[in-house]
Chain A
Amino acid sequence: MSFSVDVEKQLGDARIALRFEAAAGITALFGPSGSGKSSVLNMIAGLMRPDRGTIRVEERLLFDSMAGVNLPPEQRRLGYVFQDARLFPHRRVRANLLYGYHLAPEEARWMTCEQAVDFLGIGHLLDRWPATLSGGEAQRVAIGRALLSGARFLLMDEPLAALDRSRREEILRVIERIRDEMRLPILYVSHDRGEVDRLAASVIAMPETATG
């Protein structure tokens, strides 16, 4: 199993409880906004602590409330692609791409900066500041930054939602190539049925969040 997740978390009035297992390829987490999809990604990333449960990715235990295991995000070896690219505004594109690359231990890196730049077609952007990039350009840089950090799996939180139709198609192709050529497991959050049908091998529907 690439993802094996069983988490519960009380967030204010909403209770998020989700359990799923997913095989290789892209697994979509599908549901309306506000159903806690992003919270589930944050729990898998280690940015939010579940109240209870276990999280395994590629047979590696990342979180287990019973055993007291809770790896910090920097040890989970993941790449997180956000809806807004979240590039570091005070670093040029090149420095953004290399941020995680320099932090990754040598044996964890599986892609060079040149390969990522070629793959994403962002060679002409390297000396630009993030604030000057279009939404599609920023998202490609963000994907490159995630891949270069030595990620063993990707979390994608509505990566197309902020883009117009033609840019969407571009990024969709990039994601398909990551799935087919790099064979990284991807957990993909979306509320768009079309995207999900096109990309995902399996679809997990978010349950209604219980209130109270």
Chain B
Amino acid sequence: MDISQIILLSLKVSIVAMLASLPIAFLLAYVLARGRFAGKILLDALVSLPLVLPPVVTGWLLLLAFGNTGPVGRLLNTTLGFTFMFRWTGAALAAAIMALPLMVRAMRLSIEAVDRRLEGAARTLGASPTRVFFSITLPLSVPGILAGAVLGFARSMGEFGATITFVSNIPGETQTLPIAIHAALQNPGGEGIVTQLTLTSVALSFCALLASEVLARRSAVNKGHDHVL
């Protein structure tokens, strides 16, 4: 087992999962925070579903939809020649789906905390709704966006159940840190590797949490007001 390969793969999967879900998470958070439409409760529940479903169920559903015989999987395969099955991209997809609810929650709180009266003030100063969004709403939501991103990254690093169900355990392709730890535990005499991987895992998660705290504090201290999360 090549530890650095496992770590690099885990980082790649988690970073791609986090970056790809960032805009989607923000859009969902914005719609849930500000939108008024029928079915909002349903959308809210749907987004949160991976949080409460057994991860193995989420993985199975991903397999049904994105597997080579599934509707989305077949479409991607025939049109783009792209497949998620047994590829690191599939691991990233599973991680993104599992991280999405946490990211949406953090961002939604921060969007809801934006004082809408400031947006009104900006309108009277000559700003169109689009400009208000980019100059007021978005920058004031940044602490929540960063917190959501870090949380999403950390959750992706820890993702196991959905990933192993969806893309299995292929060293060098889908064998991320937790899956490697699980595999090493099955081998007699694998304790040494398990210890190394575990320490790495703890260190990475700790750094991510530390980073999120530092980011939140810095954006709060600079401006002399309390941050919202």
Chain B proximity of A10: nearest CB distance (Å)? 19
Q: B140, A73: Cβ atoms under 8 Å?
A: no
Q: Which residues of B contact A25 (CB under 8 A)?
A: none
Please list 14 pairs of residues, one from A and one from B, whose beta carbons are closer than 8 Å in the complex, sorted by A's number.
Answer: A46-B123, A72-B123, A73-B120, A74-B127, A74-B128, A80-B124, A86-B115, A86-B117, A89-B225, A90-B223, A99-B135, A129-B224, A129-B225, A149-B126
Q: Which residues of A contact B222 (CB under 8 A)?
A: 129
Chain A proximity of B205: nearest CB distance (Å)? 30
Chain A proximity of B133: nearest CB distance (Å)? 13
Chain B proximity of A63: nearest CB distance (Å)? 14
Determine the interface band of chain A, counting residues with CB < 8 A from chain B.
Answer: 20 to 34
Q: Which residues of A contact B117 (CB under 8 A)?
A: 82, 86
In whole angstroms, what is the CA distance A78 to B118 when docked? 16
Given contacts A82-B117, A129-B222, A129-B223, whether A89 and B124 have CB atoms under 8 Å apart is no
Q: Which residues of B contact A146 (CB under 8 A)?
A: 124-125
Q: B125, A145: Cβ atoms under 8 Å?
A: yes
Q: Which residues of B contact A (CB under 8 A)?
A: 115, 117-118, 120-128, 131, 135-136, 139-140, 222-225
Q: A131, B223: Cβ atoms under 8 Å?
A: yes
Q: B120, A88: Cβ atoms under 8 Å?
A: no
Q: Which of A42, A72, A88, A132 contacts B122 (CB 8 A)?
A: A88
Known: A88-B136, A129-B224. 10 other contacts (CB 8 A): A46-B124, A73-B123, A76-B124, A77-B126, A79-B125, A86-B117, A88-B121, A129-B222, A149-B126, A150-B126
The reply on A47 being an interface residue by CB < 8 A is yes
Q: Which of A47, A88, A131, A132 contacts B124 (CB 8 A)?
A: A47
Q: Which residues of B contact A145 (CB under 8 A)?
A: 125
Q: Which residues of A contact B (CB under 8 A)?
A: 42, 45-47, 72-74, 76-80, 82, 86, 88-90, 99-100, 103-104, 129-132, 145-146, 149-150
Q: Which of B121, B131, B139, B223 contacts A103 (CB 8 A)?
A: B131
Q: Which residues of A contact B126 (CB under 8 A)?
A: 74, 77, 100, 103-104, 149-150
Q: Which residues of A contact B118 (CB under 8 A)?
A: 86, 88-89
Q: Which residues of A contact B120 (CB under 8 A)?
A: 42, 45, 47, 73
Q: Please provide the 3 A-B residue pairs with the shortest distance between their CB atoms, ordered closest to farther.
A: A100-B125, A131-B224, A103-B126
Q: Which residues of A contact B139 (CB under 8 A)?
A: 90
* Nearest neighbor of B140 in chain A, beta-carbon distance: A90
In whole angstroms, what is the CA distance A82 to B124 when docked? 11
Q: A80, B140: Cβ atoms under 8 Å?
A: no
* Nearest neighbor of B220 in chain A, beta-carbon distance: A131
In whole angstroms, what is the CA distance A88 to B127 when docked? 13
* Nearest neighbor of A148 in chain B, beta-carbon distance: B125
* Nearest neighbor of A103 in chain B, beta-carbon distance: B126
Chain B proximity of A158: nearest CB distance (Å)? 14
